[in-house]
């Protein structure tokens, strides 16, 4: 498991639940709004919207919030116009960073991201500089208490999943991005609750940070980027040994 995934697990254990929930809801609203604006408000004919709604429901976002976001996207309700952008760059130690952004002010957002990167020993790169290092995957997370491995394996593989892994009290079902909806629906049909169901970018290779100063800077940078209101998702390929990660957490 890459360092950013381990760090996410540690942060979940540490808390900050209310603030995190508000930030996640904002991210879902932006994604649903843009998906509806670009592909229409009917999820049956809009795969991006369908995935966005599933992700929002996986975070326990109220249905009224989802409906309002769709209506803002289709123009039936007034709302902010967001622009979807990808920024790429490097963190300390040559770590790759891939950031999916939704903003109503491109100049403000890129200035703030560049400031973060520079402060912690990184830099903003050109389009495509790190994208080739990642590939899209669907990741569905299920608590171990919700099901057993054999049952999940049977359901997931029957609907096109690629793998099932276990770590830190949960199972992760890995799918091609186009299969995540089918697997999610199969789990819902079996009344198996999910922690999350998202399409993510998995790194092909990782960069191991062994120096404490580089690892510390990377974790601070990654957390700042994650918490930025305009960054929907940030992906990286850093890796840190468990002992050092626990020391820095």
- Whether 69 has a pLDDT exceeding 80, the answer reads yes
pTM reported for the whole predicted model: 0.76
Residue 166 sits in the same domain as residue 140: yes
Pure H helices in the chain? 3-14, 17-39, 47-58, 63-74, 106-119, 149-158, 180-189, 212-227, 242-248
pLDDT digits (tens, 9 = 90+) for 179-212: 988 898 899 899 998 888 888 898 999 999 999 9
The tokens for 105 are 């002010």
At residue 227, the pLDDT reads: 87
In a domain, 246, yes or no: no
At residue 20, the pLDDT reads: 63
For 5-9, what is the mean pLDDT? 57
Residue 210 sits in the same domain as residue 118: yes
In a domain, 245, yes or no: no
Cβ contacts of 5 within 8 Å, gap of 6 or more: none
Name the phi and psi angles at 87, rounded to 5: -115, 145
pLDDT digits (tens, 9 = 90+) for 89-126: 999 999 999 999 999 899 999 999 999 999 999 999 99
Residue 184 sits in the same domain as residue 153: yes
At residue 41, the pLDDT reads: 93
In a domain, 149, yes or no: yes
Residue 46 sits in the same domain as residue 154: no
In CATH, what number is assigned to the domain containing residue 214? 3.30.70.980
Residue 20 sits in the same domain as residue 124: no
In CATH, what number is assigned to the domain containing residue 66? 1.10.10.200
In a domain, 167, yes or no: yes
Residue 56 sits in the same domain as residue 167: no
Query: Rounded CA gap, 113 and 117, in Å?
Result: 6
At 39, the pLDDT band (50, 70, 90 cuts) reads very high
Residue 128 sits in the same domain as residue 212: yes
In a domain, 193, yes or no: yes
Residue 61 sits in the same domain as residue 120: no
In a domain, 9, yes or no: no
- Count of domains observed in the chain: 3
Domain enclosing residue 54, as ranges:
15-74
Query: Rounded CA gap, 159 and 180, in Å?
Result: 9
């Amino acid at each position: 498991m890459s360092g950013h995934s381990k760090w996410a697990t540690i942060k979940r254990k540490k808390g900050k639940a209310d603030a995190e929930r508000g930030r996640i809801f904002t991210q879902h609203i932006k994604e649903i709004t843009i998906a509806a604006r670009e592909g229409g408000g009917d999820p049956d004919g809009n795969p991006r919207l369908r995935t966005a709604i599933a992700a929002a429901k996986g975070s326990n976002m109220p249905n009224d919030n989802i409906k309002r976001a769709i209506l803002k996207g289709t123009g039936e309700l007034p709302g902010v116009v967001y622009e979807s952008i990808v920024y790429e760059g490097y963190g300390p130690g040559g770590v790759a960073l891939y950031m999916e952004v939704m903003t109503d002010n491109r100049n403000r957002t890129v200035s703030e991201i560049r400031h973060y990167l520079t402060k912690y020993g990184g830099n903003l790169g050109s389009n495509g500089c790190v994208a080739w290092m990642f590939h899209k995957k669907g990741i569905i997370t299920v608590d171990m208490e919700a099901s057993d491995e054999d049952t999940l394996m049977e359901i997931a593989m029957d609907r096109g999943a690629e793998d099932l892994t276990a770590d830190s009290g949960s199972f992760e079902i890995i799918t091609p991005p186009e299969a995540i909806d089918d697997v999610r629906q199969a789990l819902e049909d079996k009344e198996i609750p999910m922690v999350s169901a998202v399409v993510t970018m998995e790194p092909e290779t990782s960069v191991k940070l062994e120096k404490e100063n580089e690892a510390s800077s990377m974790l601070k940078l990654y957390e700042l980027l994650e918490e930025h209101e305009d960054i929907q998702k940030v992906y990286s390929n850093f890796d840190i040994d468990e002992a050092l990660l626990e020391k820095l957490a």
